[in-house]
Structure 1
């Protein structure tokens, strides 16, 4: 498949998780690989997403643990939190990880260009800093997504998630606008670091698209963390004042704050990429159109990861990249299965979910659905005085009660859902769960002792 008339066999635009995996694997196959990255190698996850955010969650959890330890007999002198210490330690680790991503590519023989690449035609890109033209037989788009914020008056005064990791100082008050996973996670982080936190959302329930009961439990989680929730309001103006900012909402209400954090969504980073020059079509919202093999509307151009807006998760981008390599370079057409993928939301405590929500299950399977659920206060929280509880929900279908959905809210849910995802993917039944002996005393033992919900035939609207 190698064609020497091109500079590279494969040129990857974007050195995030999907792009790096694809580039490395292609180089290991002996392909001539070039990779362009306009920011730091590692992409959203490593540089401005999953990794630094999880460190912030840990930081917030440590603060809560100090208070909870008192119930177990521990006492402390005066304690304090230093934001620059945590911020700088996280950025040091981000730089280390980014360097590893770059090294992985280069050690495998790929050429890394530290600048933005834009399409000239379907085989040619221009590096915007140097102006250099590069040709490639195959091009992979892996530029990911970027935060999106509404164009309201004064929006220049707000920050987005990319900005939150390098703040000069923590504010005393923060207003987080949004109800998705990014908004919920950062609200929990700020509140845990001692910031007076308000979370405002245009809808009536947090985490749109999640199971309805999970959404309700997360609202309780946020309130237990001291977050002031405001529903059914949208911002119309941000005004700078001597003491901070005043945000006006469409119901006429106003909220004063020291920091406005827009967590109103993300969009594929395709603007200005020159896709029209290469015959690559996009959907409304900018997502690159691809088939099940990640091929775009141009035969030699593929796309993986968040830029396709299929399922915006780092491990999914990696799997899509691996499937691309199988398809393009191993004569093994491979379409990655996007069904039954487990995921977590790192609220405090976190959410874990895999499979169908109850509403989706009832729409698809009707009265063949049975729901098992429980809620309880975990043992650890009894002595500590922590009000947070645990919620578990298992959804089955048919007479065999095949498990088609699991939803958790509580300590360690992000860890538990990985194992439970295997069970759902394998098509295990409720009987398989019941036949598994519990590990006592643990939170996880409850998942193999669940009883049917008292009323399980009522449609739950997500």
Structure 2
């Protein structure tokens, strides 16, 4: 059977772009259909602008300690300037992504696509059909908005980057990456910030010491934390928004933001009609090689509900192209993925938490808390936390958890030896860089405490 293309990619985000580029470089005829802007959530309204805004918010901390180093700072902040600078940068990146697709010959169609069969899609705006040997769905996800009265009055991470003005206060519902990162941003830019979360502590699933340390760091920056509650209704209150909580309390805020998770973008794509199996949350069910229940249809990235991280989507897109267009069958290993939460304090993590590791084998835990050197001349009391978890008797490193300045950068480097099955003894052989926070990783002399048969010993 003759097809128009070897590959149609629906979605121009990180995973789709990588798959398209790689497939085209292997000689495939490829088209990417993207209805919005090339670059996807990460580049346009996710990781990249988020990190830029986090940088902006951190100047307040720098100004706070500047006097202890002899500087006198008289600073003011202008929100429109930041928004304009952000837009300039993501526009540059969008052009770079587009150029990188075009160089190997990928065609780009700016429109919406809908599956009409196992090998065909309809281009909605142009009312035409394209066919391909393979179809890759890489449509990402969108913010989940709770079904409550007045939900339309709130914003999500999609709108937060382009507000016409900063609110005087903001209530953020959620307890994950997005909630704590945007709380950092708004608080650092001078907004009175509150987080409300249904759980008893932020970042469920992370190591408990890191969660406690993060909580303390957020509170030190003036962020109010409300646990065990949710927003049940929103309404206008003059120029503010009135939020009603599940405990019956009502309070006004300048803005309300939902950071309550994300949902796969599968609605209206014709997936079920084409025979593609979906999970209960709407994610596309795929195998280890990103193949759906329809042999010619694949999916990568957040739309699959696997691991919602940009580098993972990129790796999935790369391995998809390797498998189908380079005769090099590859499956992504999800077992050891480093991650960073760009909050303040920053958090970097790879491997098992203390609780997870203690449930698997006998372990040694190395833990240190200290003031970051930049704070030692000031009155700031915030502690940096570094934890290394190993198999007993200087065995394999099972987890590394860092809270404090540069944690994201450090954890990326730790991922390399851990990916090589490094042991505590291997870490010990590394020479320390002094003075640095990272030197703590290679200078632990003895475990802070141990677990034997699941029981904690010492500490």
Q: Which TM-score bucket, shorter chain as reference? A: over 0.9
Q: Is the 8 A contact 1:204 1:232 kept in 2?
A: yes
Distance 1:333 1:109 in 2: 24
Quick one: distance in 2 between partners of 1:54 and 1:239?
A: 31
Mark the runs of 5 or more structure 2 residues left unpaired by the alignment. none
Q: Aligned partners of 2:4 and 2:450: how far apart in 1?
A: 64
Q: Distance in 1 between matches of 2:355 and 2:222?
A: 30
In 2, Cα distance between equivalents of 1:459 and 1:409: 25
> Matched residue of 2:36: which SS?
coil
CA contact 1:359–1:459 (8 Å) conserved in 2: no
**Residue of structure 1 aligned with 2:70, choices 64, 69, 73:** 73
Deviation at 1:269, TM superposition (A): 0.8
Distance 1:76 1:221 in 2: 23
192, 202, 207: which one aligns with 2:188:
192
Q: Quick one: distance in 2 between partners of 1:33 and 1:223?
A: 50
CA distance in 1, matches of 2:115, 2:190: 46
TM-score, structure 1 length as denominator?
0.96
Distance (Å, rounded) in 1 between the aligned partners of 2:132 and 2:221: 52
**Structure 2 CA distance for aligned equivalents of residues 210 and 391 of structure 1:** 14
Name the structure 1 match of 2:13: 16
Provide the rounded CA distance (Å) in 1 between the counterparts of 2:99 and 2:322: 23
What root-mean-square deviation, in Å, do the aligned CA atoms of Structure 1 and Structure 2 show? 1.4
Per the TM alignment, residue 63 of structure 1 is displaced from its structure 2 partner at its CA by: 2.6
Report Cα offsets for 1:264-291 as digits up to 9, x if no partner.
0011111111101221111111111010
Structure 1: state its 5+ residue gaps. Answer: none
Describe the superposition over 1:289-311 as per-residue Cα deviations: whole angstroms up to 9, x where unpaired: 01001111110111111111211
> Any conservation in 2 of the 1:358–1:459 contact (CA below 8 Å)?
no
CA distance in 2, matches of 1:399, 1:84: 55
Contact 1:434–1:448, Cα closer than 8 Å, also in 2: yes
1:34-70 superposed Cα distances (whole Å, 9 cap, x missing partner): 1011110001110010000000000011232122211
Aligned equivalents of 1:39, 1:420: Cα separation in 2: 36
Match of 2:419 among 404, 417, 425: 425
How far apart are the structure 1 equivalents of 2:51 and 2:409?
Answer: 13
Distance 2:234 2:43 in 1: 31
Structure 2 residue matching 1:19: 3-state secondary structure? helix
> What's the CA shift for 1:384?
3.3
Partner Cα distance (2:226, 2:266) in 1: 33
Work out which of the residue numbers 370, 381, 388 in structure 1 matches 2:382: 388
Once the two structures are superposed, residues 134-165 of structure 1 have per-residue CA deviations (whole angstroms, 9 ceiling, x without a partner) of 11110001111111011001000000001001
User: Map of 1:53-452 to 2, 5 A cutoff?
Assistant: 53-77=50-74, 79-365=75-361, 368-450=362-444, 451-452=446-447
CA distance in structure 1 between the aligned counterparts of 2:106 and 2:31, rounded to whole angstroms: 6
- Please tell me whether the aligned partners of residues 364 and 450 of structure 2 are also in contact (alpha carbons under 8 angstroms): no
Deviation at 1:459, TM superposition (A): 6.5
- Distance of 1:122 and 1:278 partners within structure 2: 6
Query: Is the 8 Å Cα contact of residues 320 and 330 (structure 2) preserved in structure 1?
Result: yes
Partners of 1:318 and 1:404 in 2: CA distance: 25
Aligned residue for 1:133, secondary structure, equals: strand
Matched residue of 1:149: which SS? coil
SS in structure 1 opposite 2:272? helix
Task: Give the Cα–Cα distance (whole angstroms) in 2 for the partners of residues 275 and 24 of structure 1.
Answer: 24
Q: Distance in 2 between matches of 1:459 and 1:398?
A: 13
Larger displacement relative to structure 2 (102-111 or 341-350): 102-111
